[in-house]
Amino acid sequence: MSKNIGFISTRFAGQDGVSLESAKWAEVLWEDRHVSYWYSGESDRDPDISFVVPEAYFGFSENQWINDRIWGAGQRDRFVSERIRALVDYLKSSLYRFVDKFSIDILIPQNCLAIPMHLPLGIAVTEFLSETGIPAIAHHHDFFWERTRFSVNSVPEYLDMAFPPKLPNMRDVVINQEAQEQLALRKGSSSLVIPNVFDFDNPPDQSDSYASDVRSELGLAEDDFFILQPTRVVPRKGIEQAIKLVSLLKDPKCKLVISHEAGDEGYEYLGMLEQLAKEEKVDMRVVAHRVGEVRQRDSEGRKIYTLWDLYHHADFVTYPSTYEGFGNALLEAIYFRKPVLINRYSIFVRDIEPKGFRLLTMDGFVTPSIAKRVEQILHDSKLRQEIVNHNYEVARQFYSYSTVRGNLRAFIASLTGY
């Protein structure tokens, strides 16, 4: 029987992992005729099936005021508690309206019960689930104990209670084995690992006429090697190793293209990368101003491309991250049949590497032998095709929508009885 599913998060918009994976879950649920609705503070979903509450957005001014006073401090003022309580009550009442308006049968909180970027929302969802007993599947992408910024705080009782809660009407889903073990250790809660996925049963469409000029618009010649770093410019992405790789290739035709901008934590890092690229004589281009979530024209009439447009034209993908909760960019590169250099971060080593992919791997730094292997792959089209086709088939076995479909069906049956 079809159900009305209510997704909850602070934001469903853009290219972050929560927004992307929740949309994939909704696709899978629709195959069984379950209809998805969206509760959030910011949304790019269809307005007819969305319930937007600005106060639920993590960037809402009142939430930012609270955050400034609870993180990095060991004690909180009574007035802060009152403001938390007031926002909790307001958000909880909005959740009641959301569930009533769309006749929601099952809720899927997306990361809002894992990482307390919006503490009052997590408390509100926890209390709502406790009061109503409505079935829920909590999808946790990253927990507060994984981030140092939350380690000193004045809200330990709220973190114990709601991040995540332990409720009989809620099932927990995590995206890697480490998270599964830590959740059991810290909260005594069992969980199921459902990794991030891609629709590997349906290969991507071929590049179309709109994106046919990506190379020329980014200043690349047709015979240049387009080496794509498909991430934001933040320190944990390890982009200096991508620069080192291109430096070791010693080929002026190798161009390093970074797709996204520097985040709040990355402006000094970007400056360091630019200086390093200059010293290593690497042609590095940050093209965030030409890449957006949708195709459009900018104020000067220039085309804005999507990240997927860039993947179509890339020759090689670098992914030297020091830490990832899972690693969406890796699956994207495999989906678009591109060879990848990846750093062996801990989640990759435990969860992904044993699956049998043929990837170029590094242990923290690029070596001349790795560069030699990359050079071989760039110049040998037959070898490159063998590698990417093998990786696609492995990914289809372990990271396709079917991985989610069977687990969600089982969860819904256990929560509803059919």
Q: Where are the domains of the chain?
A: 4-197+401-416, 214-398
Q: What are the helix (H) ranges across 71-162? A: 78-102, 119-132, 156-162
Q: Is the pLDDT of residue 345 over 80?
A: yes
CA gap 72, 373 in Å, rounded: 46
pLDDT score recorded for residue 229 = 97
The CA-based dihedral angle spanning residues 276, 278, 284, 286, taken in that order and rounded to the nearest 10 degrees: 80
Mean pLDDT of 328-335: 94
Q: Is the pLDDT of residue 266 over 70?
A: no
Q: How many residues does the chain have?
A: 418
pLDDT score recorded for residue 207 = 85
Q: For 50, left (φ over 0), alpha (ψ -120 to 50), or beta?
A: beta
Q: Is the pLDDT of residue 321 over 90?
A: yes
- Give domain 4-197+401-416's CATH superfamily: Glycogen Phosphorylase B; (3.40.50.2000)
Q: 123 or 410: whose pLDDT is higher? A: 123
CA gap 364, 296 in Å, rounded: 38
Q: Are residues 391 and 200 in contact, defined by beta-carbon separation less than 8 angstroms? A: no
Mean pLDDT of 310-324: 96
DSSP label at residue 148: G
Using alpha carbons only, how large is the chain's radius of gyration in Å? 22
CA of residue 236 relative to chain centroid, distance: 14
What are 225-251's pLDDT values in tens digits?
999 999 989 999 999 999 999 999 999
Proportion of the chain above pLDDT 90, given as a percent: 88
Residues 6+ apart with CB under 8 A from 417: none
What are 250-259's pLDDT values in tens digits?
999 999 999 9
Mean pLDDT of 266-270: 83
Q: Are residues 257 and 316 in contact, defined by beta-carbon separation less than 8 angstroms? A: no
What are 357-381's pLDDT values in tens digits?
999 999 999 999 999 999 999 999 9
The predicted model scores a pTM of: 0.89
Q: What's the one-letter identity of residue 29?
A: L
Which single residue is written with the structure tokens 């049949």?
A: 337
Task: Let me know if the fold of 4-197+401-416 is the same as that of 214-398.
Answer: yes
Arithmetic mean of pLDDT over the chain: 94
Any bridge partners for residue 343, and if so which? 362
Q: Which CATH architecture has domain 214-398?
A: 3-Layer(aba) Sandwich (3.40)
Which single residue is written with the structure tokens 């830490």?
A: 323
Residue 325: HSE in the Cβ half-sphere, 13 Å Cα cutoff: 24
Mean pLDDT of 152-157: 97
CA gap 112, 105 in Å, rounded: 19
What are 390-410's pLDDT values in tens digits?
999 999 999 999 989 998 999
Closest CA to 194 of 343, 404, 409: 404
Residue 358: HSE in the Cβ half-sphere, 13 Å Cα cutoff: 17
Question: Does an H or E element contain 407, and which?
Answer: helix 401-416
Q: 14 or 392: whose pLDDT is higher? A: 392
